[in-house]
Amino acid sequence: MVSCVFPGSFDPVTVGHTQLISRAAGMFDRVTVAVMINIKKAGALSVDQRIDLLRKACSSFKNVRIVSWEGLLTDFMQKNDEKIIIRGIRTGTEFDQEMNAHYANRKLNDQIETIFLPADPFSLVFLLPLLGKLLSLEEI
């Protein structure tokens, strides 16, 4: 069985997250969505709320499980005998950040691989102009 882990804060879960989960569910026998808990960062939603929203958003995917984890991702990967991390990429800047995270994860556990999935370009086409207008405080 080939499985992967899609880690994140999911605060809140977005259409982009569910698109990536759907794509991963089609590529892997099992996808574990790991809601990472950062005690130094107050979230807008509680961990239980995030898990509940993810379970609802992923209810049609029979090979997806939702869990939470407090601690290092590499520790989660080792404890659950996982080797593949899935990460979504929207921009070149995010790619650079994710590559740094990949290098750090590999330093801690050289068995871990990271697969980068580019965001759906259709969603970006509509998202970027909207964000630009919001940031410039223009009327939409």
Question: Is 128 inside a domain boundary?
Answer: yes
Distance CA 99, CA 85 (A): 12
- Token code pair at residue 98: 């994710």
Question: Is 118 inside a domain boundary?
Answer: yes
Per-residue pLDDT of 64-84, as tens digits, reads: 999 999 999 999 999 999 999
Distance CA 64, CA 4 (A): 10
pTM, rounded to two decimals: 0.84
Q: Identify the band that residue 4 occupies on the pLDDT scale cut at 50, 70 and 90.
A: very high
Q: Identify the band that residue 133 occupies on the pLDDT scale cut at 50, 70 and 90.
A: low
Task: For helices 121-135 and 15-27, give the axis angle rounded to 10 degrees.
Answer: 160
Per-residue pLDDT at 140 = 43
Question: Is 140 inside a domain boundary?
Answer: no
How many domains does the chain divide into?
Answer: 1
- Tell me the residue range of the domain where 70 lies: 3-135
Distance CA 19, CA 65 (A): 15
Question: Is 40 inside a domain boundary?
Answer: yes
Of the two residues 108 and 93, the one the predictor is more confident about is 108
Residue 65: name the closest of 33, 28, 27 by CA.
33
Question: Is 46 inside a domain boundary?
Answer: yes
Question: Is 93 inside a domain boundary?
Answer: yes
**Strand 113-118 versus strand 84-89 pairing type:** parallel
CA end-to-end span of the chain: 47
Question: Is 99 inside a domain boundary?
Answer: yes
Residue 38 belongs to domain with CATH number: 3.40.50.620
| Averaged pLDDT for residues 48-58 | 94
Q: Please check whether residue 58 is in contact with residue 66, taking contact to mean a CB–CB distance below 8 angstroms.
A: yes
Question: Is 75 inside a domain boundary?
Answer: yes
Q: Identify the band that residue 37 occupies on the pLDDT scale cut at 50, 70 and 90.
A: very high
Counting Cβ atoms within 10 Å, is residue 90 exposed (0-12), middle (13-18) or buried (19+)?
middle
